[in-house]
Amino acid sequence: MTIRVRFAPSPTGRLHVGNIRAALVNWLFARQQGGTFILRIDDTDSERSTPDYEAGIRNDLTWLGLNWDETFSQSDRFDRYREVVDTLKAQGRLYPCYETPDELEIKRKIQLSRGLPPVYDRAALSLTADEIAAFEAEGRKPHWRFKLDLPATVAWTDLIRGDVSFDLSSVSDPILIRADGSFLYTLPSVIDDVDMGITHIVRGEDHVTNSAVQVQIFEAVGGKAPDMAHFALLTGKGGEGLSKRHGAMAIADYRDEVGLEPLAILAMLARIGTSQNVEAVANIQALVDSFDFSCFSRGAAKFDPDELAAINTKIVHGLDYAAVSDRLPEGVDAAFWEAVRPNLNTVGEIQDWVKVVFGPVTPVIEEADYIAEALDALPAGDLTADSWSVWTGTLKAQTGRKGRALFMPLRQALTGQSHGPDMASILPLIGRARAVARLSGKAE
């Protein structure tokens, strides 16, 4: 069997870490098994779906390296969905209901007050032709429910949760078509999964009930429910709901505002909520090779932005010049990159050190006499990787200074900073002319 999975975002907003985790788990499984990863655009909500959001989805996946093998949009398949709807109506599996939202809410409250589960009572199945005509005369349009075959218990062996059993009598017949004629997610999704030969549905545990209900819908449209895997949802590091404050930012913001590496995001989302170590990896193939459903935990997957930032820093520190050269400012060569890389949390932070090297920098000079002596002792000629040790060695011998008292005034005068890359590497980048100017107290 060739594995076929899908990621099905709605183009009604931007992708966030929860969306990407769903895409990533499907993608890793498909790549490890030599299968097919399908991008399905769930754009049946014509009022909220936009081309810009769809373009954003594709751009985010491409930036992360989650390439798809096939893609299609649900908006191109309405004729197919209507064909199946006509069949289900003819079979009596779809039936019209005329209750308003307020009427349904009243029924729900009455059931709850009696200690009963708030399950739809199927009153619409008993409507007479005259009652239906009266509703139609009022201008009411029906919504359509799928008639579950009851009593029934749906069971499957989930690739993450193990044996799952669900009593369908505890849920209402699901609404598949709204009163305005638009489709809810459930029916088009099932039809697509059957038509596209989806073998595995991999998604969050909040869909377990949907999965149980969809089993009968799969059978009603002439298909068979795929194998399933339901992973725990993301929470904040303290177990709180994931909000923007706790990391639920759009992926585009992590890229454009925070400046994270795509591999950092993938490395974290692939391993949180599993028994595997969350750590920086060399490449995405390492995540493919280690992917294993048996490692997923039933407990919440805790997303910590600070942990993500730490992973990103480790990845940046491992990037060679060739991997980032097309993203670096003009004038930054391999020597420059290697000198400042240990002090970067993101690649974008190199802009700060471009300014330190090329200026203008306002020197910080608190010990003018020492800096004047240092200027006189600066080695002649072009400054090299050896110049710093020669220079500080001379000053140590002349002044008796050592440690911080020897080094810090020089760093502050040359860079205007109290911390930064190793001065032996940064001094040649600054160069003799700028070094002389800064040691003379000039902004250069």
**Domain-wise residue ranges, the chain:** 4-72+186-233, 80-177, 236-321, 334-439
Mean pLDDT for the stretch of residues 224-229: 98
Spatial separation of the C-alpha atoms in residues 288 and 33, rounded to whole Å: 9
Percent of the chain with pLDDT over 70: 99
- Residue reference for tokens 């201008």: 139
Using a 10 angstrom Cβ sphere, with 0-12 exposed, 13-18 middle and 19 or more buried, the burial of residue 294 is exposed
Is the model's pLDDT at 243 over the cut of 90?
no
Using a 10 angstrom Cβ sphere, with 0-12 exposed, 13-18 middle and 19 or more buried, the burial of residue 242 is buried
The architecture of the domain spanning 236-321 is Orthogonal Bundle (1.10)
Note the helical H segments in 206-261: 208-220, 251-253
4 pLDDT tier (thresholds 50, 70, 90): very high
Is the model's pLDDT at 11 over the cut of 90?
yes
149 pLDDT tier (thresholds 50, 70, 90): very high
17 φ, ψ to 5°? -60, -35
pLDDT in tens, 371-399: 999 999 999 999 999 999 999 999 999 99
Is the model's pLDDT at 241 over the cut of 90?
no
Q: Report pLDDT for 238.
A: 81
Cis link prior to 360 (omega < 30° from 0)? yes
- Residue reference for tokens 């007479």: 128
pLDDT in tens, 14-71: 999 999 999 999 999 999 999 999 999 999 998 999 999 999 999 999 999 999 999 9
249 pLDDT tier (thresholds 50, 70, 90): confident
242 pLDDT tier (thresholds 50, 70, 90): confident
What token pair was written down for 31?
């790549």
- What stretch of H or E contains 201? strand 200-204
Spatial separation of the C-alpha atoms in residues 293 and 157, rounded to whole Å: 13
Q: Report pLDDT for 244.
A: 57
pTM for the model stands at 0.92
What is 80-177's CATH number?
3.90.800.10
247 pLDDT tier (thresholds 50, 70, 90): low
189 C-beta neighbours (distance < 10 Å), count: 22
Q: What average pLDDT does the structure give for the chain?
A: 95
CATH domain 4-72+186-233 topology: Rossmann fold (3.40.50)
Mean pLDDT for the stretch of residues 226-255: 84
CA 46 to chain centre: 24
Q: Report pLDDT for 246.
A: 57
237 pLDDT tier (thresholds 50, 70, 90): confident
The architecture of the domain spanning 334-439 is Orthogonal Bundle (1.10)
289 C-beta neighbours (distance < 10 Å), count: 13
